[in-house]
Amino acid sequence: MDPILLAVLVVAVIGIIGAVILVAASVVMHVPVDERVEKITAVLAGANCGACGCAGCADYARAIVEDGTPIDRCTPGGAACAAAVAAIMGVEAGQIHSMKAVVACSGDCEHTTKRFDYQGLNSCAAAKGLYGGDGACAFGCLGYGDCAAACPFGAISIEQGIAKVDRSKCVGCGLCAKVCPNAVIRLVPEHRRKPVVLCSSRDKGADTRKACSTGCIGCMKCTKVCAKDAITVENNLAAIDQDRCVGCQLCVKECPVGVIRIPGAE
């Protein structure tokens, strides 16, 4: 027999045998996939942002079906997404609050200064590693844009030396908060009347005033006007309990440094 023809036949036989083995393996090793996983994946936001704690939307869908993971963790999808997932799973969606990122710092270039001229990587993490950062306030936004780089929705920019959130683009995924080395970014429920404290300084009032003209000085005037006991001051910094707050905004008017504001109106 022609050697070339023989070689072709041998390769063909090997290919056929290999195909038979693969088909048999696919039948024997087949793992049934719950059709709900595919349905849930289809209704999720598709951002693959990881805000749910999973590697991506498909993994989150699988976790919901197989592990009973809560259905309200797709923050980009919000309430509509949770309702769609609930319908597929045959459960109640419950009340889902839309979350938005807030930069708890008001120390832009008009209100604070730098301790030294930082010359290094254009990174908040890198700047933080050098003597705690170059800002006069050790607790403030470093302003080098790690949060902006981490945001897959283009919702964060650096303006006047600090991070600013475009609330129309923010989906509340929390990726910005995870990369902020000073933890000045946090997620709060979306509300048009409830204020937040846009400061993270825990220094004493006098020291805060030296570092930033618009920092919280822990004067406690806000706590005295709040009829719902929604405001506390710990470590010289005011904090508002969003669940207790009714949006009366008396604290906004009372704050002597104007650091308590309504997100989106600051």
**Angstrom distance (rounded) from CA 98 to CA 78:** 6
Tens digits of residue pLDDT in 221-266: 999 999 999 999 999 999 999 999 999 999 999 999 999 999 987 6
Residue located via tokens 């008001």:
106
Q: Is residue 79's pLDDT more than 70?
A: yes
Is pLDDT of 93 > 90? no
Decide if 143 contacts 161 (C-beta within 8 A).
yes
The residue length of the chain stands at 266
Indicate whether 203 pLDDT > 70: yes
Percent of the chain with pLDDT over 90: 73
pLDDT in tens, 145-189: 999 999 999 999 999 999 999 999 998 989 999 999 999 999 998
- pLDDT bucket at 78, cuts 50 / 70 / 90: confident
Handedness of CA 233, 259, 248, 264 (dihedral sign): negative
- The pLDDT of residue 129: 93
What pLDDT score does 92 carry?
86
Q: What is the mean pLDDT of residues 1-8?
A: 76
> For strand 156-159 and strand 99-103, is the pairing parallel, antiparallel, or unpaired?
unpaired
Split at pLDDT 50, 70, 90, the class of 23 is confident
Beta strands in 59-155 (DSSP E): 99-103
Per-residue model confidence (pLDDT) at position 108 = 95
Higher pLDDT, 59 or 11: 59
Q: What does pLDDT average to over the chain?
A: 92
CA angle 209, 166, 250 (to 5 degrees): 50
Residue of 114, 111, 192, 101 lying closest to 148 (CA atoms): 101
Helices (H), 29-131: 35-43, 57-67, 78-89, 124-128
Mean pLDDT, range 131-144, rounded to an integer: 96
pLDDT at site 13: 82
Q: Measuring CA to CA, how many Å separate 4 from each of 9, 10, 12, 13, 45? A: 9, 10, 12, 14, 56
Rounded mean pLDDT, 71-78: 88
- pLDDT greater than 70 at residue 31: no
| pLDDT value, residue 1 | 62
Q: What is the pLDDT of residue 44?
A: 94
Cβ-based neighbours of 241, under 8 Å, separated by 6 or more: 230, 231, 232
Flag whether pLDDT at 138 surpasses 80. yes
Taking residues 75-89, report their average pLDDT: 91
CA distance 176 to 183: 9
How many Cβ atoms from other residues are within 10 Å of residue 237's Cβ? 21
- Give residue-wise pLDDT tens across range 208-230: 999 999 999 999 999 999 999 99
pLDDT of residue 34: 86
Domains and CATH numbers, the chain: 35-89 (1.10.15), 99-261 (3.30.70.20)
Q: What angle do CA 45, 49, 71 make, to 5 degrees?
A: 55
Model pTM? 0.78
Q: What crossing angle do the helices spanning 57-67 and 78-89 adopt, rounded to 10°? A: 40
